[in-house]
Amino acid sequence: MAVDRIALITGANRGLGQSAALALARRGVRVVVTHRGDADGAEETAQRVRAEGGTAAVLRLDIRDVSSFGTFVAELSQLLERYGDASRLDIMVNNAGVGVFGPLEAVTPDDFDTVFDTNVRGTFFLIQSVLPLLAPGAGIINVSSSLTRHTSPATSVYSASKAAVEIMSRTLAAELGPRGIRVNSLAPGPTATDFNGGAMRDDAEMRRGLAQQTALGRVGEPEEIGDAIAALASESLRWVTAQRVEVSGGVLL
C-alpha cells in the first residue's frame, strides 16, 4: 500500500500558503504548516485540513533566522519519525516571503536587507538545511511573482528578489536533478490575498484596473494558486523541472 506523501509549506498560516496546504491535503498529501509567529493562523490552517479529513502539523519557522534552521530541521525530523516516515519529505513549498514597496528614493538599506534576507537568503539556506530529509523524487516549488516578467512602479526590490529566486530554482534543478529532485518556480499574478495590505483583495478600483489588463478579465483567487501548486507538485508532472510556471490569468501580456 502506497504511503501518503508529506509536504512542508512555509508561511502557510495565511494567503497562498494556506491555500496550498488545503489543495495538497485534498489530494491526500500530509502537510507540515509553518509560521513565523502567527500560531493562531497556522492552527486555523491545520484545523481546516483536519476538518476535511487530512493530516496536518504545525511548526514555527522564521526564514530570516538562518541560525534557527538546525533546530527546525531536528523538530521536522522528529515529526517525520512520528509519521513513520523518517527522513522522507516529498514536497517542499517555499512560500514564505515579504514585500517592501516604494520608489527608489524611499527604499532604505534595511528595507532591501529585509526583502533579500527573507525571499532569497532564507529560501536558499532552508533548502540546504532540509535537503537531507528530501526523498529521491521529491519536488521543490519556490513561489515567485509575475513581476519578474512585467513591471510595476515601486516594486524594484521585491521583483529583483523574486528574479533571484527563479534563477536559483533553475540552477538547483540542475544540481539536484541527479538525486531525482525536481525544482520549479511558480509565479502568481495579482491575487486577492492580504499581501501588501490586502490591496488586490479590498481595493475595488485596483481590482477593476487589473482586470482590464488581464486576459481572463479578473484578479486571481488564492484557491487558484493553491491548486496550481498542488498540480505542479503532483506525480502527473514528475518530468517537469527547472521551469517557471506563471499563474496570472494572463496579466499584462
Active site residues: 158
186: its cell numbers: 511558480
Residue identified by cell 519556490 is 142
Q: 10 Å Cβ neighbour count for 240?
A: 15
Kindly state the DSSP code that residue 18 receives in the 8-state scheme.
Answer: H
CA distance 71 to 69: 5
Q: Element (H or E) spanning 19, and its range? A: helix 15-26
CB 208 within 8 A of CB 222: no
- Collapse the DSSP code of 22 into the 3-class scheme (helix H, G, I; strand E, B; otherwise coil) and give the result: helix
Burial class (CB in 10 A: 0-12, 13-18, 19+), 3: exposed
247 within 8 A of 188, measured Cβ to Cβ = yes
Q: Compute the CA torsion angle 140, 141, 143, 146 (nearest 10 deg).
A: 140
Which one, of 198, 184, 205, 212, lies nearest residue 91 by Cα? 184
Amino acid found at 94: N
Contacts of 17 by beta carbon, 8 Å cutoff, 6+ apart: 9, 10, 11, 33, 45, 93, 95, 96
